[in-house]
Amino acid sequence: MEFLVASAVGVLTAGGVYLLLRLRTFPVILGIALLSYAVNVFLFASGRLAIDKSPILAKYGEASYTDPLPQALVLTAIVISFGMTAVLVMIGLGAYLEADSDRIDIEDTEEDTGA
């Protein structure tokens, strides 16, 4: 289980970083999305992995439960990254329709703005 989660985080991060370094908007957005998945899984795992336990105490006597806080944190983080991605897609689409190209040019902004 630990191995599975750890490698999931690793693979997602690797893919995310690779895509983030592309020069086009759309892969960059995908890369950010993948990275945020990776960090969400990681955050979830920070509360220790436990299988088949509920995060809420059913009765106060039963001590077998998982840490609810990371689940709440992850839920919040997912909501926020969902919103961020949606807004980012909107901007990316706007930029694409505006310039007919989805390149990101860090170097020659001058030419970009001149066009």
Is 5 a residue that touches another protein (CB under 8 A)?
no
* Separation of alpha carbons 7 and 3, rounded Å: 6
Smallest separation (angstroms) from another protein to the CB of 54: 10
Smallest separation (angstroms) from another protein to the CB of 63: 16
Is 14 a residue that touches another protein (CB under 8 A)?
no
Is 97 a residue that touches another protein (CB under 8 A)?
yes
Q: What is the largest CA-CA distance in the chain?
A: 69
Write b or e for each residue in 32-60: b if 16 or more Cβ atoms lie within 10 A of its Cβ, otherwise e: bbbbbbbbbbbbbbebeeeeeeeeeeeee
> HSE of 113 in the Cβ direction (CA atoms, 13 Å)?
5
Per-residue string for binding with another protein, 18-57, x by CB under 8 A?
A: --x----x--x---x--xx-xxx-xx-xxxx---------
Number of residues that bind another protein (CB under 8 A): 45
- Name which position in 5, 6, 8, 88 contacts another protein (CB under 8 A): 88
Is 109 a residue that touches another protein (CB under 8 A)?
yes
* Separation of alpha carbons 98 and 115, rounded Å: 11
